[in-house]
Amino acid sequence: MKVKNILLIDDNEIDNYVNNHIITKSKIAEKITVKKSAMAALEYLKNTEGGTVEFPELIFLDISMPVMDGFGFLEEIIKFPQTIEKQCAVVMLSSSDNPNDIKRAMNFEVVIDFFTKPLRIEMIEKLAEKGNL
């Protein structure tokens, strides 16, 4: 199955490059959008309300970012009606393997998985096997 639109949110340019490359190589997405902060991602998502930008079906989200971290982003995205309407799912993609971070993230209904960086093809395959792609 192919996802129409994936959103990558990470403040690290190298991680964004690698993640974009892996997703492109896996051919699971028609479109990949990259945002370097949670605030920029929220602004992007607000623009989807008018219909000019497609709301993503899948978001890969880092936890540790300046100004607003991944958890702050999750608190905000669950307020978007499109999150529910479009059945948007979030995959946490973080350098943290702290069990408390994993538990906290998985308490959000929109979060379907938690992976430790870097993103790998096997992770994409796992999402596909679970029926999340």
Domains (range + CATH), the chain: 3-129 (3.40.50.2300)
Instruction: Tell me the pLDDT tens digit for each residue of 7-54.
Output: 999 999 999 999 999 999 999 999 999 999 999 999 999 888 766 678
The partner residues of 113 in beta bridges, in order of sequence, read: 91
Helix axes 99-106 and 70-77, enclosed angle (nearest 10) = 10
| pLDDT reported for residue 1 | 56
* 3-state helix, strand and coil shares in percent for the chain, rounded to the nearest 5: 45, 25, 35
Instruction: Tell me the pLDDT tens digit for each residue of 114-128.
Output: 999 999 999 998 888
Mean pLDDT, residues 59-76 taken together: 97
| pLDDT reported for residue 133 | 66
pTM of the model: 0.92
Whole-number Cα distances in Å, 38 to 19, 30, 59, 72, 76? 17, 22, 11, 8, 10
